[in-house]
Structure 1
Amino acid sequence: MAVTGRRCAVLGSPIAHSLSPVLHRAAYAARGLDWSYEAVEVTEDGLADFVAGLDGTWRGLSLTMPLKRAVLPLLTDLDPWAAVSGAANTVVLDGDHRVGHNTDVPGAVAALTERSSGPWTEAVVLGGGATAASVLLALAELGTHRARLLVRNPDRAAETLAAVHRHAPQLPVTVGLLGEPATGDVLVSTVPADAQTPELLATVTAPVVFEVLYDPWPTPLVTEARRRGATVVGGLDLLVHQAALQVALMTGAPGPLAAMRAAGEAALLDGTR
């Protein structure tokens, strides 16, 4: 049985837009837990001090940009996905133990397979950060044979390429620049909505489009994908699945997926957080 009165939070910068508090609080309500979950603005420079100041009431942290990689030196252990991806979006706190997990990878697998049956043979990923690495690892699990990473600066894709090589050395990943043709069975976008220019959208022809953003929604990419009749996997799909896994890790009880999704959809509709 879960301990009562525990504290959890999502950390990042910027963080005011985060839907994570809505999802986790919905899970606590559905499970009858008197836990709290808040959004806290924390930069990379402030992360170590924030973590060092946590007391025994704290049970878990969710991490978003730009902290998924920055948190690793502060942890005592990593789950296999965090270790191979070089990023943790979840920290479970137990006394002096801080265990990092990456629920983005299994969350992405669940989101993709919920909306589409594939094939996933050839993939294109826009952006080269921690989320891109997690989705590439998810695609490797789904049987992707070839992948192309399109980025603004190829030098910043090095950590993502290393993560894929550690887990799936058989998966060739080539690197190109944003704006090059983005053809394949599935396209994943991890770039901001304001970077989704008409010129960029004109390069996208994949039948399955995975937009990891959920706010703003729909993004220009989603609008264009729907116009073309593509299958859309949304950022809320990813967020709900990875958050349900976080709830399970933090509370010991399965995350109530339907209740969390309903809460997230309602919050996006009325603009509350």
Structure 2
Amino acid sequence: MTTAAAEPSAGEPRRFEVWGSPIGHSLSPALHTAAYDRLGLPWRYGRRRVDESSFARELAALGPEWRGLSLTMPLKTLAHDAARTRDAAATATGAANTLVRSGDGWAAFNTDVGGLAAALTEIGSAAAPRARIVGAGATATSALLALERIGVGRIEITARRPAAADPLLALAASRGIPTTVSPLDAPAGEVELTVSTLPGDAPVSDPDAERLAATGGTLYDVVYGTWPTALGHAWLAAGQPAHPGATMLLHQAVLQIRIFASGSPDDPLTGEEDVVAVMRRSLMGG
């Protein structure tokens, strides 16, 4: 795994931001600020609306006080490509949600994979025999690797256009993950866990949502801002367990802060249990 240089020292002022478009809804500033305050770090974390057309210009204009960035859609592929080095998850997915200064360049990380794996473990879904990913976009790639990480045995990808899942199938084959694809209106069979990677406003017909809920086990929906989604409604109506994506946001942010502090997602924060508790309260508005 690639590690980034952690300079200047952690106690010196640093600046960080989350970039994306749209960005006004982001909860990352509240999460990061709560953690920095708990850690006693004089760091500042804000948000900035940046799209594909302005990303390279904005990145090049950052001074040395800017130590790291969180990236959301539509910038994750651009962030991956802008980096000089990448961790294994960013390399495998072709996407990065974290950039950190490394010498005179940037190191890229994908903490979505680890964040989702931690969130799924938290709800008791580790090592599920079978899981379904709904959607075949960039987030589905991170979901595939997260399911691999928690030991899921077999994966079904359900997509409106099954051909869109071809890159996911290729990635799964390269990693020896037994994976199949089915159309959204005809899921293949019963699974113990469903991970939805669809955007919050993605249209899903009631019959399709009900069909997925009937065979989908526990739902984890990566959306957190517009809950319940169409799938969330279907799961709740069927009396099935359903979880929004807030805990994925929490756990990927913890990994980001580790990277910002030490250059590695593997180095726990000082008093990390307390830091996570403070972040969780911030996320839940308490």
Question: Normalised by the size of structure 2, how large is the TM-score?
Answer: 0.85
Q: Which of 250, 261, 267 is the equivalent residue of 1:251? A: 261
Distance (whole Å) between structure 2 residues aligned to residue 134 and residue 217 of structure 1: 21
Residues 79-228 of structure 1 mapped to structure 2, 5 A cutoff: 79-166=87-174, 168=175, 170-181=176-187, 183-194=190-201, 195-204=203-212, 205-228=215-238
Q: Return the letter of the residue paired with 1:230.
A: Q
Instruction: Give 2:80's aligned residue.
Output: 72
The answer to whether residue 78 in structure 2 is matched with residue 59 in structure 1 is no
In 2: Cα distance, 1:230 partner to 1:179 partner? 19
Q: Give 1:97 deviation, angstroms.
A: 2.5
Alpha-carbon displacement from aligned partner over 1:110-153 (angstroms, at most 9, x marks no partner): 10011114552211111112211111111112222322222233
How far 1:70 sits from its partner (Å)?
2.2
For 2:102 and 2:65, the matched residues in 1 are separated by: 10
Distance in 2, Cα, partners of 1:177 & 1:119: 25
Give the SS at the match of 2:121.
Answer: helix
How far 1:83 sits from its partner (Å)? 1.1
Whole-angstrom CA distance in 1 between matches of 2:168 and 2:97: 15
1:270 aligned residue: none
**CA displacement at 1:249 relative to structure 2:** 0.5
Distance 1:112 1:139 in 2: 9
Structure 2 letter corresponding to 1:186: L
Q: 1:31 corresponds to which residue?
A: 39
Letter in 2 for 1:148: E
On the 8 A contact 2:23/2:48 being kept in 1, the answer is yes
Q: Give the length in aligned residue pairs.
A: 265
SS of equivalent to 1:69:
helix
> Aligned-pair RMSD on alpha carbons?
2.0
Partners of 1:23 and 1:163 lie apart in 2 by: 32
Contact 2:127–2:153 under 8 Å retained in 1: no
- In 1, Cα distance between the equivalents of 2:219 and 2:82? 35
C-alpha offsets along residues 19-43 of structure 1, whole Å, 9 cap, x if unaligned? Answer: 1111111111111122111121111
3-state SS, counterpart of residue 18 of structure 1:
coil
Shift of 1:57: 0.6
Where do residues 228-267 of structure 1 align in structure 2 (5 Å cutoff)? 228-252=238-262, 254=269, 256-266=275-285
Shift of 1:178: 2.3
SS class of match (2:23): coil
2:199 is matched by which residue type in structure 1? P
TM superposition shift of 1:155: 4.3
- In structure 1, what is the Cα distance between the partners aligned to 2:28 and 2:63? 22
Question: What is the CA-CA distance between 1:266 and the residue it aligns to?
Answer: 0.5
Q: TM-score, normalised by structure 1?
A: 0.89
Instruction: Name stretches of at least 5 consecutive residues in structure 1 with no aligned partner.
Output: 268-273
Compute the displacement of 1:225 (Å): 1.9
Cα distance in 1 between the residues matched to 2:80 and 2:167: 14
Q: Deviations over 1:3-27 (max 9, x none)?
A: 4221111111111111111111111
CA–CA distance in 2 between the matches of 1:7 and 1:164? 37
CA distance change for structure 1 residues 98 and 159 in 2, over 3 Å: closer, same or farther?
farther
Structure 1 CA distance for aligned equivalents of residues 44 and 205 of structure 2: 39
Secondary structure, aligned partner of 2:62? coil
SS of alignment partner, residue 164 of structure 1: helix
Pair 1:156–1:37, CA change in 2 (3 A): farther
**What residue number does 2:23 align with?**
15
Structure 2 residue runs without a partner (length 5+)? 1-8, 263-267
Report if aligned partners of 1:56, 1:95 keep a CA contact under 8 Å in 2. no
- Higher mean alpha-carbon deviation, 56-65 vs 116-125, is at 116-125
How many angstroms apart in 1 are the aligned matches of 2:146 and 2:108?
Answer: 18
Aligned partner letter, 1:59: R
